[in-house]
Structure 1
Amino acid sequence: MSTTAVLRSEWIKIKSVRASLGSLIAVFVATVAITVLAFAAVGTAEADNADFEPLFGAFYALNFGQIAAIAFGTTAMSSEYLNGALRISLCAVPRRGLFYGSKVAVVGALALGVGLLTSFAGFLAGQAFMGEYAIGLGHDGALRACVGGGIYLALMALLAAGLTMVLRSGVAVLSILIPFTLIVSFVVGDVASGVAQFLPDKAGQQVLHENPSGTLGPWAGLAVSAAWAAAALIAGWWAVRRRDA
Structure 2
Amino acid sequence: MSFTAVLHSEWIKIKSLRGPAGSLLAVLLVTLGVTALAFATIGQAEADNPGAEPLYDAFYALNFGQVAALAFGATAISSEYLNGALRVSLAAVPRRTHFYAAKIAVIGGLALATGLVTAFAAFLLGQSFMGSYAIGLDHPGAVRACVGAGVYLALLALLAAGLATVLRSGVAVLSILIPFVLIVPFVIGDVAGSVAEFLPDRAGQQVLHAAPAGHLGPWSGLAVCAAWSAAAVLAGLWTLRRRDA
Question: Aligned ranges for residues 1-245 of structure 1 at < 5 Å?
Answer: 1-245=1-245
Counterpart-to-counterpart distance in 2, 1:236 and 1:42: 42
Helix, strand or coil: the match of 1:45? helix
> Could you list the runs of 5+ residues in structure 2 that have no partner in the other structure?
none
TM-score computed with the length of structure 1 as normaliser: 0.99
Superposed CA offset, 1:11-49 (max 9, x none) = 111011101000000000000110001000001001111
Structure 1 counterpart of 2:154, one-letter code: A
Partner Cα distance (1:241, 1:169) in 2? 17
Give SS of 2:44's match: coil
Aligned length: 245
TM score, norm. by length of structure 2: 0.99
Query: Aligned AA for 1:115?
Result: G
Deviation at 1:2, TM superposition (A): 1.1
Distance 2:71 2:169 in 1: 12
Deviations 1:152-211 (A, max 9, x none): 000000000000001111111000001111211211122211000000000000000011
Distance 1:80 1:99 in 2: 12
**What's the % identity of the aligned pairs?**
71
CA distance in 2, matches of 1:185, 1:164: 21
**Partner AA of 1:7 in structure 2:** L
Structure 2 distance, partners of 1:186, 1:17, is 35
Report SS of the residue matched to 2:194.
helix
Runs of 4 or more above 3 Å deviation: none
Which amino acid counterpart does residue 74 of structure 1 have in structure 2?
A
CA distance in 2, matches of 1:143, 1:178: 27
Structure 1 SS opposite 2:46: coil
Structure 2 CA distance, aligned partners of 1:130 and 1:62? Answer: 18
Q: Which amino acid aligns with 2:177?
A: L
Query: Hey, what's the Cα distance between the residues in 2 that align with 1:29 and 1:157?
Result: 16
Structure 1, unmatched stretches of 5+, are none
Q: Write the distance in 2 (CA, Å) between the matches of 1:21 and 1:8.
A: 16
